[in-house]
Amino acid sequence: MVPVPIWGTGALTKKSINTGGSGCPIEDVERAEQERRSDFRRILQTDDYGILEEVYKNNDIRGIEQIGHLLHNLSVLEYENDENWCDIHPTLKNVLDV
Any idea which of 20-24, 49-53, 77-81 has the lowest mean pLDDT?
20-24
Residue 1 scores a pLDDT above 50? no
Report, as an integer, the average pLDDT of 8-32: 69
Say whether pTM exceeds 0.75: no
Q: What is the pLDDT of residues 53-77, one digit of tens each?
A: 999 999 987 877 889 999 999 999 9
Burial class (CB within 10 angstroms; exposed 0-12, middle 13-18, buried 19+) of 4:
middle
What long-range pairs does 33-38 form, CB within 8 A, spacing at least 24? Answer: 33/7, 33/91, 35/9, 36/7, 36/9, 36/89, 36/91, 37/91, 37/92, 37/94, 37/95
Give CA–CA dist 80/60, Å, rounded.
12
- The answer to whether residues 71 and 86 touch, using CB atoms and an 8 Å cutoff, is yes
